Amino acid sequence: MDFGNVRFTVEHEWVRFDGENAVVGVTDFAAGELGDIVYVELPGAGTVVKAGEVMGTIEAVKTVADLYAPVSGTILEVNAELENAPETVNSSPFEDGWFVKMKMSDLAELESLMEHDVYQELTGN
Amino acid sequence: MPYTYHSKEDRAAMLRLLGFDSEDRLFDAIPEGLRLDQPLPIENGRSEPETLRLFKRLAVKNHGAHGLVNFLGGGIYDHVVPSVVNNLASRPEFATAYTPYQPEVSQGTLGVIFEFQTHISRLTGMPIANASMYDAASAMAESALMAAKATGRKTILMPDSVNPRYRRVVERYVSGQNLLIEAIPATASGQIDAGALSARLGDDIAGVVVQTPNYFGVLEEPWAFSDPVRESGAMLIACVCPISLAIFRPPSEYGADIVIGEGQSLGNPMSFGGPLVGFMACSQKLIRQMPGRIVSRTKDVDGHTAFVLTLQTREQHIRRAKATSNICTNQGLLATRATIYLSLLGEHGLTELARLCHDKAHRLAERIAACDGYGIRFGGPFFKEFVVECPTDAVAVVKRARELGVLAGIPLEKYYGETSRRDLLVAVTENNSDEDFELLCDALCKARDAEREPSNA
């Protein structure tokens, strides 16, 4: 898998960017640590979020984790599939299990995020 | 576990081990100036018979509702509690107010809670019910917080016809979370002013509370405003009397999002005003905003039916400051009693009971209205409770009736001010006999005559 245009946060989220458009999800490491994900609560399209803010929750069998906005911007679309099949986050964290698509308002924020190899080190891989 | 205190020998042995010659050495770290150098000024212990005598003397100063002819209501009612309820609920397996810390070990407790939830769900028509709340007032406050969370809005509309005690609890409870509580007036029928309510709706209103029957005993007509409420995006919070639901339309039919109420009347004594037991039910979409505990039925690894606590992940021990609520237990014993009571009465029994209360209340209202000087304050339809308009101060009427052994009701002036000076809230249950009605009417007439005398003289 090509992680050239993907950046990572310390909250174990990923951002795949293309110009000012971005797709956000959680990493395979995060999905594995949470265990079976049973519910995700996502912000509605049109919501304006700021980097670092809580924008939703991820509920697993044993815990509930916050979903943070990795970058600032406006939510364009949420992954409606997750409503009925939240386990997709476990089975396909980088592809079908994406959370939101957003329009970034400050591309410079990407520079403070980690590239794939740095993130790999963080998780001890 | 029995409590065993340390004997003198035990203490001496411990001090020897520590190498101390006296217990004072244990407090060396506390500066001497701060230490109390004399015994506490409290009385010595008393013997068991002395203590019993003291408490019996104090206890007879209480006048329970049962020694008197009782028409008190306002949220707590004097219904018959069948002996079976006391008998079953006092079994040691049930006699605990707590869901155990390792809940799944106690399948029986979870099974009872599941049945409680099922009863509440069937009565209210709502798909989800929780394991009970502390009382209706705190359940109402929690529902206000739920509505605010679900809508992202801050204002709750609270009609004047809602129990004023509940209103005060809600105000105090949500004040730290910056919610605003705004009043909506009542009309001459004793019901919510639907026009004023609809006019106030807007994108700042998180929820609208409707209590039916309301504090005046009058049934509201929620379908008169439930459509505008839904269209405005606000949550409709219904506070209901569970017994009344046996004969009136359930809140699910008028689009309530959250349903709460008081379960004291279901097999629980008045107990001088508490403990009480609240209930809460909601629509499917609000399940993750619902506070408290929810028991679900599932299958264990061997395929046997088993009960589990669900949605615990949103509570304090996992989410800490971000938990859905600070409710960390349920009102186990009283909810158990309510479950036994509802199972005992069944659908037919509860319907019969509701009809009986309704019919008796209407019979009494007619008799009171026939007493010279007395009338029924509001024109709206009522269930088992109604407001009497007295010819004089309701407080004076209550005082006079009390002298005659009758608890006539609740004077409304302290909640609604001077304009309600003559208003008296009277509640009727199946427990009230025709003789009780006679005694109340007689007391009301005597109170009226006593007040008239001075001016006639």
**pLDDT tens-digit map of B295-310:** 999 999 999 999 998 8
| Residue B229 burial by Cβ neighbours in a 10 Å radius (0-12, 13-18, 19+) | buried
Q: How far is A60 from chain B (nearest CA, A)?
A: 8
Chain B, 321-340: which have a CB under 8 Å from a chain A CB?
A: 322
Q: How far is A37 from chain B (nearest CA, A)?
A: 12
CA B319 to chain centre: 28
CB contact under 8 A, B313 and A66: no
Report the chain B residue with the minimal C-alpha distance to residue A64. Answer: B313
Residue B353, CB half-sphere, CA atoms under 13 Å: how many?
25
* Structure tokens given for B315: 């509570």
Contacts of B320 in chain A (CB under 8 A): none
| B74 Rama sector, left if φ>0, alpha if ψ -120 to 50, beta otherwise | left
CB contact under 8 A, A59 and B322: no
Q: How many residues does chain A have?
A: 125
pTM: 0.86
Task: Identify which of B288, B313, B322 has the shortest CB distance to residue A62.
Answer: B313
Q: How far is A62 from chain B (nearest CA, A)?
A: 6
Q: What is the pLDDT of residue B456?
A: 47
List Cα–Cα distances, B267 to A19, A48, B87, B270, B371, in angstroms: 66, 51, 12, 10, 34
The ranges of chain B with pLDDT < 70 are: 1-3, 96-100, 328, 454-457
Is A80's Cβ below 8 Å from some Cβ in B?
A: no
Q: Domain A6-122 classified CATH 1.10.10.410?
A: no
| Contact between residue A57 and residue A67 where contact means Cβ atoms under 8 Å apart | yes
CB contact under 8 A, B318 and A59: no
| Contact between residue A34 and residue A60 where contact means Cβ atoms under 8 Å apart | yes
Q: What is the pLDDT of residue B168?
A: 97
Q: Of A64, A67, A83, which to mutate for an interface test with B (greatest number of B Cβ within 10 Å)?
A: A64
Q: How far is A10 from chain B (nearest CA, A)?
A: 20
Beta strands in B29-98 (DSSP E): 69-70
Contacts of B322 in chain A (CB under 8 A): 66
Contacts of A62 in chain B (CB under 8 A): 313, 318
| Contact between residue A30 and residue A13 where contact means Cβ atoms under 8 Å apart | yes
| Contact between residue B423 and residue B377 where contact means Cβ atoms under 8 Å apart | yes
Is B313's Cβ below 8 Å from some Cβ in A?
A: yes
Report the chain A residue with the minimal C-alpha distance to residue B317. Answer: A63
Is B421's Cβ below 8 Å from some Cβ in A?
A: no
Is A67's Cβ below 8 Å from some Cβ in B?
A: no
- Output b/e per residue, B424-440; b: 16+ Cβ within 10 A: bbbbbbbbbeeebbebb
CB contact under 8 A, A59 and B313: yes
Q: What is the ipTM of this complex?
A: 0.74
Is B296's Cβ below 8 Å from some Cβ in A?
A: no
Report the chain B residue with the minimal C-alpha distance to residue A54. Answer: B322
Is B319's Cβ below 8 Å from some Cβ in A?
A: yes
Give chain B's domains with CATH numbers. 65-77+347-452 (3.90.1150.10), 83-341 (3.40.640.10)
| Contact between residue B342 and residue B351 where contact means Cβ atoms under 8 Å apart | no
Task: Say which residues have a Cβ less than 8 Å from residue B35's Cβ, sequence separation at least 6.
Answer: B27
- State the residue for tokens 């509370």: B209
* Structure tokens given for B10: 């035990």
Residues B314 and B308: their CA atoms lie apart, in Å, by 15
Residues B453 and B140: their CA atoms lie apart, in Å, by 45
Beta strand pairing call for B235-240 and B205-212: parallel
The ranges of chain A with pLDDT < 70 are: none
Contacts of B312 in chain A (CB under 8 A): none
List Cα–Cα distances, B338 to B11, B88, B117, B135, in angstroms: 49, 11, 11, 13
CB pairs under 8 A between A and B: 16
Q: How far is B312 from chain A (nearest CA, A)?
A: 8
Q: Of B298, B310, B313, which to mutate for an interface test with A (greatest number of A Cβ within 10 Å)?
A: B313
Q: How far is B318 from chain A (nearest CA, A)?
A: 6
Backbone angles phi, psi at B249, to 5 degrees: -60, 135
Contacts of B319 in chain A (CB under 8 A): 64
CB contact under 8 A, A63 and B318: yes
Is A39's Cβ below 8 Å from some Cβ in B?
A: yes
CB contact under 8 A, A63 and B288: no
CB contact under 8 A, B313 and A41: no
Q: Helices B332-369 and B434-456, interaxial angle, to 10°?
A: 60
* Structure tokens given for B13: 């042995």
* pLDDT tens, residue by residue, A19-37: 999 999 999 999 999 999 9
Helices (H), B239-331: 316-319
* pLDDT tens, residue by residue, B367-414: 999 999 999 999 999 999 999 999 999 999 999 999 999 999 999 999
Is B91's Cβ below 8 Å from some Cβ in A?
A: no
Is A48's Cβ below 8 Å from some Cβ in B?
A: no
Cα-Cα-Cα-Cα dihedral sign, residues B322, B324, B327, B328: negative
Contacts of B313 in chain A (CB under 8 A): 59-64
Is B314's Cβ below 8 Å from some Cβ in A?
A: yes
Is A118's Cβ below 8 Å from some Cβ in B?
A: no
Q: What is the pLDDT of residue B315?
A: 75
